[in-house]
Amino acid sequence: MTEARATLPGQTGTAIPPKTPNLLARLLGLGRPVVMGILNVTPDSFSDGGRFLDPQRALDHARRMAGEGADILDIGAESTRPYGGAVAVSREEEMRRLEPVLPAVTALGVPVSIDTMKASVAAAALAAGAAILNDVWGLQRDRDLARVVAEHGVPVVIMHNREAADPALDIMADIVAFFTRSLDIADRAGIARDQIVLDPGIGFGKTPTQSITAIARLSELRSFGLPLLVGASRKRFIDSVSPASPDQRIGGSIASHLLAVENGAAIVRTHDVAATVQAFRIAAAIRGAR
């Protein structure tokens, strides 16, 4: 049974059906920043590893984020390990973590994105109701991912990534070159341009300074003419400026996301949906009163 999506008091008429034609256009047409809530069904995510591995806890958290105003729920069953130490997770293990959770989460009525690096997992998740692919390797690692996206006709988040940070690198030039390669792969697979979101990959193969640069100079990526997503939530660059453990980085996450939106981000990816939604509402109210 499909549950009605919960709404916060004062929040009306913004829910987008989970699998709908032109999903991305409809999300971007909300007229405010789109909030993607993070659901990690992993034992080892950098911020919340182990908290939502239990299926009931995962579903409770997804329901809570939906009620807090998440426009998308991003579910991942393998830590992307932005800070190294990757522990490879088999397809079977990734599916074992997803299977008890995914149908119930998609039934909440909020579009679900699947955060996976594996084409076989993406295909299974999209068949089970996920509506967006989030690939932290920008279609460049598992080359079958582009075909899966094209076949399902779903939106895809192409994220910039590198095996290792290089402090000497012009990070904006590297991001532009990476996106150019990813867009070529997407074109050749037949993925429509209006289904693509670009993400500079905050914390991935970047020094803290380069992560800050990517947010500060985000507007340069507008030249691709595609929507931009920023995921700064609780990331380590915040600690480099204002030392704090991951769950104490909410202020830094919100500051980053507000400035990212000012610099052109259409979507933000966050662990802290309620605080982020509140920050955007207040920013909009203040802007509106200028």
Q: Assess whether 118 carries a catalytic annotation.
A: no
Nearest residue (beta carbon) to ligand HH2 = 231
Residues near 117 by Cβ (< 8 Å), separated by ≥ 6?
78, 80, 135, 136, 137, 141, 142, 145
Among 249, 269, 277, 280, interactor with ligand HH2 by CB under 6 A: 269
Q: Assess whether 143 carries a catalytic annotation.
A: no
List the interface residues with ligand HH2, window 135-154 (CB under 6 A).
136
List the interface residues with ligand HH2, window 43-82 (CB under 6 A).
45-47, 76, 79-82
Stretch that binds ligand HH2, among 37-45, 60-68, 96-104, 176-184 (CB under 6 A): 37-45
Which positions from 191 to 210 touch ligand HH2 by CB under 6 A, shown as an x/- string? Answer: --------x-xx--------
Exactly one of 5, 235, 236, 249 is catalytic; which is it?
235
Nearer Cβ to ligand HH2, position 18 or 200? 200
Contacts 24+ apart (CB under 8 A), 221-225: 221/172, 221/175, 221/176, 221/179, 221/264, 222/264, 224/179, 224/183, 224/198
> Which among 20, 42, 34, 27 is positioned nearest to 273, based on CA atoms?
34
Does 105 engage in binding with ligand HH2 (CB under 6 A)? no
Does 211 engage in binding with ligand HH2 (CB under 6 A)? no
Distance of CA 204 to the CA centre of its chain: 13
Positions in the binding site for ligand HH2 (CB under 6 A): 38, 40, 42, 45-47, 76, 79-82, 115, 134, 136, 157, 159, 199, 201-202, 229, 231, 269
